[in-house]
Amino acid sequence: MATPEFDLFVIGAGSGGVRASRMAAQCGARVAVAEDAPLGGTCVNLGCIPKKLYAYASHFAEAFEESHGFGWSGPAPSFDWNLLKANRAREIGRLNGIYGRLLVDAGVTVLDGRARIVGANEVEVNGRVYRAANILVATGGRPVVPVLPGHELAITSNEVFDLAEFPRRLVVVGGGYIACEFASIFRGMGAQVTQLYRGEQVLRGFDDDVRNFLAAEVRKKGVDLRTNADVERIERDVGGLTLALRDGSSLAADAVLYATGRSPNTAGLGLGDIGVALSPNGAVIVDAHYATNVAGVHALGDVIDRVQLTPVALAEAMALVDRLFGQGLRSVDYELIPTAVFTHPNIGTVGLSEAAARERCGAVRIFRTDFKPLKHTLSGSTERTLMKLVVDAASDRVVGLHMVGADAGETVQGFAVAMKAGATKAQFDATVGIHPTAAEEFVTLREPVAP
C-alpha cells in the first residue's frame, strides 16, 4: 500500500496541535495528528479545566460559612472527594469526545499512538511511516520533580486530581502559580495545607504588591505559607510521609505535591537525530514564524517554552497555519497578555509590573487601592481586594493593571481589550463605572500614590 501523504503532520493533540490541525484542514490541507494520550492535552486533561473545576469546588465551604451573615442557616455541608473526581472525569471524557469529533469533522486523520520523526519529512507511528511536507511539534510540557532523597514519593499536578484518598495533610512545594493555586484549592476543600517555597516571596515575576497581598490573604485563609524553606528529603513512615527541611525541622504529610516547574516534552521524538536545535532545557528553538532550523519542521506552544498559556498556543497555531496555508498576515503579539491565577482570592493581571514599568518607561505613576468588598461587610470574611494601575507618565498610557480579589480574571479580561487599544489614564477617568462593583474602582482611582 502506498505511503500516505500529508501537507501537515502534527505531533501532539493538545490545545495548539488541535487548533493547527483543524484550521489547516479547513484551509484544504491534508492533515494528520498523532496523540498517545486523551485528546486535548494538558489543559483539558491535567491542567486548566480540571483545576478550574476543583477551584469551583473549593469555594463552597467558604460560601456556606459566609451565607450566615445574609440570613442563611442550616447543617454544615460535607465534602465527597470521590464524587468530585467522578464528576470531573465524566466531564473531561465528554470534552475528549468533542475534540475527537471536531478533528474528524474537519477532515483530519487522527492517529492513536506515539509519533517519532525518523527522517526528512517522515514520521513513524505504530511502526508505520508517514510522509508530510510539514511537521509540527506541539507536544507541550510535563511537570518535573527535582532529584532528592525520597523524590519518588512526591506527586505532581498530573496525579493530584485522582488521589485515591483525600489528603488531609498536604504539603505543596513551589512558589509559582500552579503551587499557589493547588494550595488554595485543597485548603478550601478542608485540607491542612503547608506551602514551602525556597525564595523570598511566591509568584516571582508578578507585581510585588500583588505577591505580598496574595501571600497575606492566603495565610488568613489558613494556608501555612513558608518562604525561604526547602526540602532536604522525604521519607515514608507508618503515619504517612515525613519531610525533613533544610533548616532542621520536619513536617508530616499524607501527600507531597511538587509544583516547581515544567519541562518541554521533546524526549524520544527524534528531533536530535534530524538536527533540530534545542535549548538547554529541551525546548525546541524556533524563529518568529515557529520554524526550526530544519526545513519543514515547526513547533509551538509549551514545547517552545515561550509563554506557557493555552490561549497563546492557540494564537501561535493560527499564525502558523496562516503562514503555511493562508495569506501569511497573522502574527502573535506577546505584549499585554492577560492572565489569571485561581488562588483564594483570584489574581488577574495584564501588562507590566511596577518594577518592569520603571525599568522600561522610566517615570511612572502608580494608582493603588485595597478595600473590603461590599459582600464581606455582611459575610464576616476578612478578605480584602487589591487593585492597581501602572501608568507611563510620559504618554499617560496604562501599561499595567493588577487585581487580587473575587473573579479577578473575569474583570481583567475586559480591561485587557482597552489596554491593547492603547487606553490612557485619562480615558479610564472618563469612563463611567458600574456601581456597586469592585471593577468600578479601576475607573475611579484619581490620586497617585507617593513615589
Catalytic residues, which ones? 435
| ω into 143 cis (within 30 of 0) | no
Is residue 229 a contact partner of residue 192, using CB atoms and an 8 Å limit?
no
H or E stretch at 67:
helix 48-67
Q: How many angstroms separate the Cα of 192 from the Cα of each of 171, 183, 388?
A: 8, 9, 31
Q: How far apart are the first and last CA of the chain?
A: 73
Structural contact between residues 136 and 271, judged by C-beta atoms closer than 8 angstroms: no
Apex CA 210: angle with CA 208 and CA 216, to 5°?
A: 105
Name, in order, each residue with C-beta under 8 angstroms of 397's C-beta and a sequence gap of 6 or more.
391, 422, 423, 424, 425
- The three three-digit cell numbers of residue 316, written as one number: 501561535
Which amino acid, one-letter code, is at 3?
A: T
Say how far apart CA 386 and CA 406 lie, in whole Å: 10
SS3 63: helix
User: Cα separations (Å) of 395 from 135, 365, 399?
Assistant: 44, 11, 10
The amino acid sitting at 382 is: T
Residues with Cβ within 8 Å of 367's Cβ and at least 6 positions away in sequence, in order, are 388, 389, 391, 425, 445, 446, 447, 448, 449
Q: How far is CA 96 from CA 44, 101, 283, 312, in A?
A: 8, 9, 26, 21
Assess contact for 130 and 8: CB atoms under 8 A. no
The answer to whether the beta carbons of residues 333 and 398 sit under 8 Å apart is no
- HEC string of 266-292? CCCCCCHHHCCCECCCCCECCCCCCEC
Q: In whole angstroms, give the CA distance from residue 266 to residue 281.
A: 10
